């Protein structure tokens, strides 16, 4: 009887070490704006208004939301940041109005 219990405990231990977190369990919603630096395939890089650039995965965004974007165009990105690999996965992209000087 001890062998099956030991085998189950060992299997649970091994699986829990490599088991991914449930989808969305560690994702954090984000919304930010900036300027398009480039778009290629299903990846876009946006320079934030605060300075750094962010790589954005576009797989979950309808192509018509980003296909016609051009360099320097202002956008607002909504999506999630995954804790597991620290990347931004966009869920929507909106064109933003250009900031006007006072």
Distance, CA of 79 to CA of 57 (rounded, Å):
9
> What pLDDT is attached to residue 76?
95
Q: Is the pLDDT score of 4 beyond 80?
A: no
Residue-range domain boundaries for the chain? 22-95
| pLDDT per residue as tens digits for the range 26-75 | 678 999 999 999 999 999 999 998 889 999 999 999 999 998 999 999 99
Mean pLDDT for 17-23 is 43
> What pLDDT is attached to residue 33?
92
Superfamily of domain 22-95: Nucleic acid-binding proteins (2.40.50.140)
């Amino acid at each position: 009887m001890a062998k099956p219990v030991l085998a189950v405990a060992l299997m649970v231990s091994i699986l829990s070490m490599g088991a991914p977190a449930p989808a969305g369990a560690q994702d954090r919603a984000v919304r930010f704006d900036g300027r398009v630096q480039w778009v290629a395939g299903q990846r876009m890089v946006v320079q934030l208004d605060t300075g750094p650039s962010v790589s954005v995965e576009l797989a979950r965004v309808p192509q018509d939301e980003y296909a016609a974007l051009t360099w320097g165009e202002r956008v607002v990105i909504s999506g999630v940041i995954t804790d597991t690999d620290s990347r931004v996965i966009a869920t929507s992209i909106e064109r933003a109005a250009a900031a006007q000087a006072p």
